[in-house]
Amino acid sequence: MTKAELVQKIHAKAGQTTKRQTEANLDATIDALVEALKAGESVTFTGFGSFKVITRAARKGRNPRTGKEINIPAGKAVKFTPGKVLKEAVK
């Protein structure tokens, strides 16, 4: 699903006045989510799931083309854990 398709579905369900307003609300929601994750906070949507930032330790890896061992630096990543309602809906 693309962003435009998501905006269309939200617009149809929420019945907001314009699609442009719906898209602005979606953009504001995504911006707020990104800001919270940048600040190290976790974000939870009850029933849907939660997003949190995890720290990955430095480790050794292997270049698949050459087989040469390389060092992979430590870093941060976003982890999503689905909620019970979402798990049940997908089954």
- Cβ neighbors of 7 (< 8 A, separation 6 or more) are 19, 22, 23, 26
> How far, in Å, CA of 13 to CA of 10, rounded?
5
Query: Quick check: pTM over 0.85?
Result: no
The burial class, CB within 10 Å (0-12 / 13-18 / 19+), for 52 is middle
What is the mean pLDDT, run by run of 10 residues, along the chain of 91 residues?
A: 92 85 93 96 94 96 94 96 94 89
Do the Cβ atoms of 36 and 70 come closer than 8 Å?
no
In the chain the domains, ranked by start, together with CATH numbers, are 3-90 (4.10.520.10)
